[in-house]
Amino acid sequence: MHEHQMSNWQHSHNFARINRKGERRTKWVLLLTFATMIVEIVAGMQFHSMALLADGWHMATHVVAFMIAIFAYRYSRIHQDDQTFAFSPAKVGVLGGFASSIALAMVALVMIADSVERLLMPEIIRFDEAILVAQVGLLINLLSALLLRDHHDHDHDHDDHDHDHDHDHDHHGHRPHHQDHNLRAAYLHVMADALTSVLAIVALVAGKYYGWVWLDTVMGFVGATVVLVWAYGLIKETSPVLLDQSPSDRYVRAMQTVLEADGECRVSDLHVWPVSANHYAAIVVLVTQQPKSPVYYKNLLTNFSRLDHLTVEVNRCNGLDCVSE
């Protein structure tokens, strides 16, 4: 077979989402957070301020999370054409999001531990200093949140193909929903810190002017609970992708219904799984008395916009009426 004929049946398996804008902005946030962390730790040691030291070391956990995010971006970009990955390293970003969600949950648990310690052993709060630290932290976090906000206008380094293959790679031009779990995890870390700062300011102002010192501990529990909910939500989003969990039963049943709509074939085997946060692959085995080209059956599924890699096997049924129940 000539090489130009073979190329009609070949395509890229690169599903890695190259979000250069997200990578650049995460680097800026990392530098900003790291610089703030160093300043707070040095100032805390210089002025013997536990509030500054605590906030500085708290920011260190977010620095680690941002480093994970940047590593995931860089690894996916460098290895996007690595043939040792069956469907490109597209899940590295999802893995980064999962790792960051675990780190986020750990931050929440530390917040709970600190709140319990404060409840059992109350400390004298330096309100003016603590309010200033919380305000500076909130300002840094709001700036970081603006940098990390995902506007869905990222770079994509994918080539489009207009061929029909037995192993099909469909491009639908516009996709209604793109997810970058890596960027979202970094964003949630920033928002968690911003939430902590807001709650701290409320508690500290109330403690300073109304004597409600207990509110500082209460706000710690409230903030930790919200952060845990965010972390749990991100874990629920990333885990199915990492574990190759099929999409909803409704999605799979809809595929089967479309394929069997003409009454001439039955789906004997159907597997659908995510190859990235935004792409599905599927293997379909059909049984029919009147086989058609695999391209015919693939064209029936063109409305399934996330289905990017489809393998169809068509088997002829002889003698018995295998199509009917």
Is the Cβ–Cβ distance between 301 and 258 less than 8 Å?
yes
| Arithmetic mean of pLDDT, 21-30 | 88
> According to the model, what pLDDT value does residue 159 have?
37
More confident: 49 or 176: 49
12 CB contacts (<8 Å, ≥6 apart)?
A: 158, 159, 161, 169
> According to the model, what pLDDT value does residue 45 have?
72
At CA 32, angle to CA 221 and CA 197, rounded to 5? 20
Structure tokens at 195: 């939430």
Across the chain, the runs of DSSP E, i.e. the strands, are 167-168, 265-274, 280-288, 307-316
> According to the model, what pLDDT value does residue 78 have?
82
Is the per-residue pLDDT at 198 higher than 70?
yes
Structure tokens at 68: 């994970």
Question: What pTM, to 2 d.p., does this model score?
Answer: 0.72
Is the per-residue pLDDT at 172 higher than 60?
no
Is the per-residue pLDDT at 173 higher than 70?
no
> According to the model, what pLDDT value does residue 79 have?
77
* DSSP summary character for residue 89: T
More confident: 159 or 295: 295
Structure tokens at 33: 């957070």
Choose among 238, 236, 233: nearest CA to 91.
238
Euclidean distance between the first and the last CA atom of the chain, given in angstroms as a whole number: 42
Domain ranges of the chain: 3-242, 249-316
With cut-offs at 50, 70 and 90, classify the pLDDT of residue 220. Answer: confident
Is the Cβ–Cβ distance between 51 and 40 less than 8 Å?
no
Structure tokens at 187: 């964003």
Q: How far apart are CA 230 and CA 221, in angstroms?
A: 14
- Could you say which architecture CATH assigns to the domain 249-316? 2-Layer Sandwich (3.30)
Choose among 202, 180, 170: nearest CA to 26.
180
Q: For 229-246, how does the pLDDT look when each residue is reduced to its tens digit (9 = 90+)?
A: 888 998 998 999 999 999
> According to the model, what pLDDT value does residue 153 have?
42
- CATH class of the region 3-242: mainly alpha
Q: What is the mean pLDDT of the chain?
A: 79
> According to the model, what pLDDT value does residue 18 have?
61
Q: How far apart are CA 309 and CA 170, in angstroms?
A: 7
Residue type, 56: G
